[in-house]
Structure 1
Amino acid sequence: MTNRHRSVVDVYVLLRRVDGAILLMERANTGYADGQLCPPSGHLEEGESVIAGAIREAAEEVGVDLTEAELGFAHVVHHRNADEEGRIGFFFVADTWRGEPINREPHKCARLLWADPTNPPENTVPYTAAALSQISKQQPFSLDGWDHPLTAN
């Protein structure tokens, strides 16, 4: 009998202002991609849907309240890192929310900034930048880090 593969599932929330800019967070003191930028995001918790996880992460990290109706599906990426570990990332976009985004985790985030998702800053986490590139092309799915024609990088 073969072992079934299990992937980490990540959820990302692209809070998008009227001018099209999205909110990014500069990671700090986490041991992963410190000094790099990514949207509010995190891993699913046991028994949690991707929607519930996205809503929770946005509240925990930047203090905004979202409803399921405010989240629109943007993209899913199957990513493999340099250690050949796979993960699946679901990206959602929200144009409305309640509350002003603030840094609720200063021990993990150095700062918040708004950026053009079609031209993210150089220090954006590569996995996130690859997904943003595909989202800007209105592609609902991509592979990143796999040796395959659909690979984004």
Structure 2
Amino acid sequence: MTGRQPRQVPPDEPAPSPEEPPTGGALPQVIGVHLYLEDQQGRVLLGLRHPDSAFAGRTWHFLAGHCEREPALGCLVREAREEAGLVIDPADAEYAHAVHVVDATGGPPRLQLVFRVRRWRGTPEVREPDRCLTWRWWHPEALPEPIVPYARAAVDGIRAGRLYTEMGW
């Protein structure tokens, strides 16, 4: 919250259009959903992105995907199965952290939702070799390099008990 009071619109002045907020124009934002999976030793599952990946080639990252006209937990369940062969019950997912990020390339702002899952079925396997080369478990205090910066921020936030981080604004 900025502490600003909402501006009252006089009765003879038209209200701003919802498509054109007074802050400078609407810009759709991408919603990403990420899996924070820990094994019994407290290690976090990360995948090494394929070098030719459209995003973050040769970089470690969460199992993740974009919402495709579906609820966030539905996306999480779908992506876990598609990318790593993991079966997740949405009831076992809990909201853990969000990173609201704008990157330097000028792309749209992104809201990255991270969900922690403590129970699942299956062993992580590479199911999309054109996007991910391998899945590995990492201790949170010894994450691999290079790692997607907002993934590191989310892990750090979760470990510190924070629910939200902003980057690049």
TM over 0.5: yes
Which one has the largest radius of gyration?
2
The aligned residue for residue 120 of structure 1 is 143
The aligned residue for residue 138 of structure 1 is 161
- 1:76 corresponds to 2:98: yes
Tell me, which stretches of 5 or more residues in structure 1 are unaligned? 147-153
The aligned residue for residue 14 of structure 2 is none
Runs of 4+ in 1 over 4 A off after TM superposition: none
1:16 pairs, out of 38, 41, 66, with: 38
- The answer to whether the 8 Å contact 1:118/1:136 transfers is no
* TM-score after normalising by structure 2: 0.81
- 1:37 corresponds to 2:60: yes
- For residues 56-93 of structure 1, the C-alpha deviation after alignment (integer angstroms, 9 at most, x for no partner) is 11111000100111111100110110124310000001
The aligned residue for residue 47 of structure 2 is 25
The aligned residue for residue 97 of structure 1 is 120
- Name the SS for the 2:140 alignment partner: coil
* TM-score after normalising by structure 1: 0.89
**Distance in 2 separating the partners of 1:23 and 1:108:** 16
Amino acid at match of 1:137: A
Tell me, which stretches of 5 or more residues in structure 2 are unaligned? 1-16
The aligned residue for residue 151 of structure 1 is none
- The answer to whether the 8 Å contact 2:49/2:131 transfers is yes
Amino acid at match of 1:13: L
**Distance in 2 separating the partners of 1:144 and 1:138:** 18
**Distance in 1 separating the partners of 2:131 and 2:99:** 24
- 1:67 corresponds to 2:89: yes
**Distance in 1 separating the partners of 2:127 and 2:160:** 32
Identical positions, percent: 32
